Amino acid sequence: NEGALWGARFATGPSPELAELSRSTHFDWDLALYDIAGSHAHAKALAAAGYLTADEETAMHAGLDALARGIVDGTLRPSPSDEDVHGALEQALIGAVGPELGGKLRAGRSRNDQIATLVRMYLLDHARTIAREILRLVDAIVAQAEAHPGAILPGRTHLQHAQPVLLAHHLQAHAWPLVRDLERLRDWSVRASVSPYGGGALAGSTLGLDPQLVARELGLARPSENSLDGTSARDVVAEFAFIAAMIGIDLSRFAEEIILWNTREFGFVTLDDGYSTGSSIMPQKKNPDIAELARGKAGRLIGNLTGLLATLKALPLAYNRDLQEDKEPVFDSVRTLEVVLPAFAGMVATLRFDTDRMAALAPQGFSLATDVAEWLVKRGIPFRETHEISGALVRACEQQGIGLEDASDELLASVSPHLVPEVREVLTVEGSVASRTGVGGTAPDRVAEQRAELIARVQDA
């Protein structure tokens, strides 16, 4: 078992089948630079505790720097005989600085505390990238809202026409969940910023190495309080996978609407050519593939989360090799979001809205019936009664095949003496939208205020 991290107590090396199953370099190599950072920090802790001379420490850092250059330029790669990234890098270090010095670095650490630390560092870095991409998407949504301050959309519940709303209000309703996702990432990162390094395999180290020093060097807030917990807990990974899944779900809800809006039947949006796709057989087609992929990948993100949770369920303390299964799903979630978010932001930024069509459809489906009922409430009639009056007006108009706004004075009066001609002041979508001045409502001033708040919250997140 030449070059492996273990072997002395074994009469033979690993069978080829075991080696094949055990090998993780095809995915954990993504952690190679974090492993090097961990090794730099660990070398400092060893030197501080007197296990490396100043010269040895200098040579160690130089050797690790050479490895890092090889990782970056691709000349250093794991070999098929390497079990994992840690073993591969120890072999490379020994190649760079010799077995005497290279063999000293492993003192006081285990792959168990290493991997638990490296995955946190990886996720913290990518959380920042993902947050940046979410910000770009929120910016694109806000820019569209600003570009269409007065545009009106038929608001829906149950996918049926309900009440007219401002397009800006609707778009901002897709931005708020993303703001909360940013806040989730921020909250998570506080919990994630912990260094299990120094916990060793499970029980801690006998060498008196300074875990504060290592945490500080790695940019993590503090060492783990408990070496068993530090080396074997993966709730931090599961929580990240949840946030990733939630982001995917939030995107999928917006995606679904863009797909609907882009149909001929809705006709609310046109996708930019650069952000839509064609068909290999139907020359006329222009498809919303970005929205569809975003919708589809939400399923994949959910799968990554639930698979990981299933792996973690009922695992006894402390480290178990099952934990190696945390990486592929969460790495996949990271990569998925890092390709979906930029495409989604580009699609949103370049959407063209047919505001005339949306405004024309907004009053359809008797969407102003609530306005009639509330207008009557303001004139002192109980809502129970005004709901009935407005409902009767809807029925009368439906029988005549007209909209509420087309009802004659006679028709209004025949439904109820309370329905005097002044009711028409609320029978326009603009009037309806403007009158919804309650907190969080769709009145233009409220929507503009809300946008200012949204932008402020994003800057905090």
Mind telling me the catalytic residues? 158, 279
Nearer to ligand ARG, 239 or 328 (CB): 328
Query: Residue 453 has which token pair?
Result: 């708040």
Classify each residue of 282-320 as buried b or exposed e, where b means 16 or more C-beta atoms within 10 Å of its C-beta.
eeeeeebbbbbbbbebbebbbebbebbeebbeeeeebbe
Nearer to ligand ARG, 109 or 184 (CB): 109
Nearer to ligand ARG, 319 or 375 (CB): 319
**Residue 112 in contact with ligand ARG, rule: CB under 6 A:** yes
To ligand ARG, the closest distance from the beta carbon of 123 in angstroms equals 14
**Residue 193 in contact with ligand ARG, rule: CB under 6 A:** no
Which of 130, 141, 182, 323 lies at the binding interface for ligand ARG (CB under 6 A)? 323
Stretch that binds ligand ARG, among 131-139, 319-327, 343-351, 442-450 (CB under 6 A): 319-327
Which of 42, 44, 109, 111 lies at the binding interface for ligand ARG (CB under 6 A)? 111
To ligand ARG, the closest distance from the beta carbon of 234 in angstroms equals 9
To ligand ARG, the closest distance from the beta carbon of 111 in angstroms equals 4
Stretch that binds ligand ARG, among 93-101, 320-328, 371-379, 400-408 (CB under 6 A): 320-328
To ligand ARG, the closest distance from the beta carbon of 5 in angstroms equals 8
Q: How many CA atoms lie within 13 A of 236 on its CB side?
A: 27
To ligand ARG, the closest distance from the beta carbon of 119 in angstroms equals 8
Q: Which of residues 10-69 bind ligand ARG (CB under 6 A)?
A: 24, 28
Contact present, 433 and 439 (Cβ < 8 Å): no
Nearer to ligand ARG, 6 or 383 (CB): 6
Site string for ligand ARG, 324-363 (x = CB under 6 A): x--x------------------------------------
Contact present, 214 and 42 (Cβ < 8 Å): yes
Nearer to ligand ARG, 112 or 117 (CB): 112
Instruction: Provide the pairing of β-strand 222-223 with 269-270.
Output: unpaired
Query: Residue 230 has which token pair?
Result: 């530090």
Nearer to ligand ARG, 111 or 297 (CB): 111
Terminal-residue alpha carbon distance, the chain: 50
Q: Which of residues 391-450 bind ligand ARG (CB under 6 A)?
A: none
Which of 319, 344, 366, 375 lies at the binding interface for ligand ARG (CB under 6 A)? 319
To ligand ARG, the closest distance from the beta carbon of 33 in angstroms equals 16
Contact present, 63 and 2 (Cβ < 8 Å): no
Site string for ligand ARG, 115-154 (x = CB under 6 A): x---------------------------------------
Nearer to ligand ARG, 24 or 367 (CB): 24
**Residue 277 in contact with ligand ARG, rule: CB under 6 A:** no
Stretch that binds ligand ARG, among 99-107, 322-330, 332-340, 407-415 (CB under 6 A): 322-330
Dist. CA 280–CA 293, nearest whole Å: 18
Dist. CA 389–CA 416, nearest whole Å: 7
Angle (deg, nearest 10), helices 444-460 and 111-147: 160
Nearer to ligand ARG, 116 or 301 (CB): 116
- Partnered with residue 164 across adjacent β-strands are 154
Binding site for ligand ARG (CB under 6 A): 24, 28, 84, 111-112, 115, 319, 321, 323-324, 327
